[in-house]
Amino acid sequence: MSHVDGEGRARMVNVGDKPTTRRRALARCRVTMARKTLQAIVDNEIAKGDVLSVARIAGIQAAKRTSDMIPLCHPLMLTSVDVAFRVEDASILVEAEVEVADRTGVEMEALHACSVAALTIYDMCKAIDKDMVIGDLALWEKSGGRSGEYHRAGDGEHRSDFAT
């Protein structure tokens, strides 16, 4: 009946013919904030609690619920989710790594985990700093699947952040 709809009709890609392979994706973003906000996080003085612990759990749970939130994502049985943070000068880097053995990749799961972890940081600190900005949310690495390896060629600054 597809001819009865116009152009642009949304569809979930049919992945039934794709092979089940191990797939992995790594995404990152950055939460920029006032230095005193960052210091309060590091010193565990935020009234709502230990910010990075809560943000990590939120990111892990978000990865598992990506297909609930992103309409055309396939549901996937994730085999691993890892969310990490690096405290920098006036920002926190968020990194999420997700793995699966399935017919489609986990880029969205990794991006979604980063995004919800970052939003949780915002939520916990917004009483003292509403000016925080979440940026640089991007896919950094992807492996497995037909399209092969992907490594972000992105700006040098971020690369060196994570190369050490």
Within 25-54, the residues that bind its own copies by CB under 8 A are: 29, 44, 46-50, 52-54
Q: Which residues contact 74 (CB under 8 A, 6 or more apart)?
A: 12, 13, 15, 67, 102, 103, 104
Q: Which of residues 53-112 bind its own copies (CB under 8 A)?
A: 53-54, 56-58, 60-62, 64-65, 67-82, 84-87, 93, 95, 99-103, 107-108, 111-112
Distance in angstroms (rounded) separating the CA atoms of residues 100 and 23: 5
Binding-residue pattern over the window 112 to 141 for its own copies, x denoting contact by CB under 8 A: x--xx-xxx-xxx-x---xxxxxxxxxx--
150 sits near its own copies (criterion: CB under 8 A): yes
What are the CB-based long-range contacts (under 8 Å, 24+) for 124-129? 124/46, 124/48, 124/49, 124/51, 124/54, 124/55, 125/33, 125/37, 125/40, 125/41, 125/46, 125/48, 125/51, 127/47, 127/48, 128/36, 128/37, 128/40, 128/46, 129/33, 129/34, 129/36, 129/37
Residue 12 vs 35, nearer CB to its own copies? 12
Residue 7 vs 89, nearer CB to its own copies? 7
Residue 35 vs 87, nearer CB to its own copies? 87
Q: Which of 50, 102, 123, 155 is catalytic?
A: 123
* One residue of 22, 35, 36, 159 binding its own copies per CB under 8 A: 22
Query: Is 89 an active-site residue?
Result: no
The nearest distance, CB 3 to its own copies, in angstroms, is 9
The catalytic residue positions are 123
